[in-house]
Amino acid sequence: MVDENEAQALYDELITKLATRRDAGDLEGRDDFLAPILAEIEAGKAVPIKLKVPVDRETIDPVAGRRSSGTSSAEFIQRQEFSNQEKLEILLRGLELAIIAPARMAVELNELLAGLSVEEYDGVLNFGDDVASGPARTISPPDLIVGRMAASKLESLIKEIRVEALSPNEGAV
């Protein structure tokens, strides 16, 4: 398991590379998968805090006489920053959801459509919207293979990072 400084260095390196690629691609807001990941990390984790405050309140009880009562309490939610290892894990989870999951889903969708025995389906997926006259994006079987291979490489790297950096060492004391 890496220490907090090593986790921060790895996190910073990944963010720098991802931000450089994102900025070079000039992505639209909805296509920018890095922004929500960074927003989640920036928001931090919610930690409930229960405060008890002593209160000097005097009450008069007809039987017990004059008494002072004790405390008042309230619950608050405090924002706490994630540790560097938690930031790294959130980034890796976000990459899995943004890159690996869509590649898997596209392959599974294509296999499902191919199995439906629709005569006019040639293996090419055309995506559009109600405004465009033609497809906004076309994905062919070779595109799916290339995308899945790239996603598989990323998936292997993420698993390796998790094993090397985020898992507790077996021999560590």
Per-residue pLDDT band for 172 (boundaries 50, 70, 90) equals very low
DSSP 125-164: EEE--SS-SS-SEEE-HHHHHHHHHHHHHHHHHHHHHIII
Tell whether 92 and 113 lie within a shared domain. Answer: yes
What's the pLDDT at 118? 66
Q: Which of 49-53, 69-73, 94-98, 127-131 has the highest mean pLDDT?
A: 94-98
Backbone dihedral angles phi then psi of residue 27, each to the nearest 5 degrees = -75, 150
The total number of structural domains in the chain stands at 2
The upper half-sphere exposure of residue 105, i.e. CA atoms within 13 Å in the direction of its Cβ, equals 7
In a domain, 171, yes or no: no
* Cβ(103)–Cβ(151) below 8 Å: yes
What's the pLDDT at 40? 94
In a domain, 32, yes or no: yes
> If you average pLDDT over residues 106-133, what whole number do you get?
77
Tell whether 101 and 137 lie within a shared domain. Answer: yes
Domain span at residue 62?
Answer: 47-79
Tell whether 97 and 154 lie within a shared domain. Answer: yes
- pLDDT tens across 155-170, in order? 998 898 888 877 765 4
> If you average pLDDT over residues 113-122, what whole number do you get?
72
Tell whether 146 and 111 lie within a shared domain. Answer: yes
What's the pLDDT at 130? 74
